[in-house]
Amino acid sequence: MPAISTNTAANSAVRYLNINSAQETSSLSKLSSGSRITSASDDAAGLAISTRISSDVTTLQQAATNASQATAILQTADGGASNISDILARMKSLASESASGTVTDASRAYINSEFTQLVSQIDSISTGTRYSGQSLLDGTSTFATGSNVLVGSSATDTIQIKLDTLTSTALGVGTLDVSTQAGATTALTTLDTAIDTVSKARANIGAQESRFNFSSDSISTQTQNLQSANSAIKDVDIAAEQSKLSSAEVKMQASVSAESAANQMPQYLLKLLG
């Protein structure tokens, strides 16, 4: 029934105008942000899953940094252990020379002087091999007893770094004396044991480093897969959303035209009174 007190057609046109405007705004927001979910109402479940995945990705990216730092620590420690191994080899050479019957006691005193200096150098290296202010090989750092490194998105995803103590005392060479033939002979046996100890320590370092390398590869793969999964949930389909926007724009124009026409209806009705 035509009426001039209530413009039902205009009210209906306004309602659809608001609906189409909201659709257009939503599509523009998604296209400009690149995200399918710009508010919780778009997909509450998807938002919850995406948020969890995003937090896991952030944690894994930090885990990758942790693994890289752990590898750097192990490489630093291995460099120090390698130097100590070289020193022990030189000490064994000096002990072998001193143990020979062709060397005089006077010469052995000179040999022992270098030998003693090398013992001190072992301690200098074990203390001076540092990472972030911590000495790695003298038994004073947290790595001497074992330190866990987070390499995943869970608190249980850890790998332990544990470094052996490689001081002269720990290696048993601190009190060696090659100023006599007997002392040099004893030193040879002790030095063989010390060399084996350092070799075992380096093998342990290498095994840990290898594990961290594989862990880094695994973290990289996990991060890539999670980012892909998150993209499927959260990222907007540009083509589909552009199609929706075009449709909303056409409806918007139609709603404006309809509203304009509806507003003219009361005037047409008033002409009937004339």
- Same domain, residue pair 150 and 93: yes
Assess if residue 191 is contained within a domain: yes
DSSP H or E stretch at residue 160 = strand 158-161
Better-scored residue on pLDDT, 45 or 146: 146
Cβ neighbours for 139, distance < 8 A, ≥ 6 positions apart: 165, 167, 170
Q: Count of domains in the chain?
A: 2
One-letter amino acid at 81 equals A
pLDDT band at 259 (very low <50, low <70, confident <90, very high): low
| Average pLDDT value for residue range 161-170 | 96
42 DSSP 8-state letter: T
3-class SS at 215?
helix
- Same domain, residue pair 106 and 216: yes
| Average pLDDT value for residue range 48-60 | 89
167 DSSP 8-state letter: S
User: How many angstroms separate the CA atoms of 119 and 126, rounded?
Assistant: 11
User: How many angstroms separate the CA atoms of 236 and 51, rounded?
Assistant: 16
Displacement of CA 57 from its chain's centroid (Å): 9
| Exposure of 3 in the CB half-sphere (CA atoms within 13 A) | 8
274 DSSP 8-state letter: -
- Same domain, residue pair 105 and 199: yes
User: How many angstroms separate the CA atoms of 93 and 192, rounded?
Assistant: 11
**What's residue 159's pLDDT?**
95
- Same domain, residue pair 211 and 243: no
- Same domain, residue pair 228 and 261: no
Give the pair of three-digit tokens for residue 148: 């866990």
- Same domain, residue pair 221 and 244: no
Residue 69: pLDDT over 60: yes
pLDDT band at 233 (very low <50, low <70, confident <90, very high): confident
**What's residue 216's pLDDT?**
94
Listed range (62-66, 147-151, 175-179, 226-230) with the worst mean pLDDT:
226-230
Angle at 208 between CA 207 and CA 213, to 5 degrees: 100
- Same domain, residue pair 213 and 99: yes
- Same domain, residue pair 98 and 66: yes
Assess if residue 264 is contained within a domain: yes
**What's residue 64's pLDDT?**
94
Assess if residue 255 is contained within a domain: yes
pLDDT band at 198 (very low <50, low <70, confident <90, very high): very high
Q: Determine if residue 180 is left, alpha or beta; phi over 0 gives left, psi from -120 to 50 gives alpha, anything else beta.
A: beta
Assess if residue 128 is contained within a domain: yes
Average pLDDT, the chain: 85
3-class SS at 147?
strand
- Same domain, residue pair 90 and 30: no
- Same domain, residue pair 145 and 241: no
| Average pLDDT value for residue range 17-41 | 68
What count of other Cβ atoms lies within 10 Å of the Cβ of residue 210? 12
| Average pLDDT value for residue range 188-210 | 97
- Same domain, residue pair 16 and 70: no
User: How many angstroms separate the CA atoms of 36 and 244, rounded?
Assistant: 13
Q: Find the domain containing 267 and state its range.
A: 8-34+236-273
- Same domain, residue pair 213 and 257: no
User: How many angstroms separate the CA atoms of 70 and 94, rounded?
Assistant: 36
Q: What is the pLDDT of residues 96-141, one digit of tens each?
A: 999 998 999 999 999 999 999 999 999 999 999 999 999 999 999 9
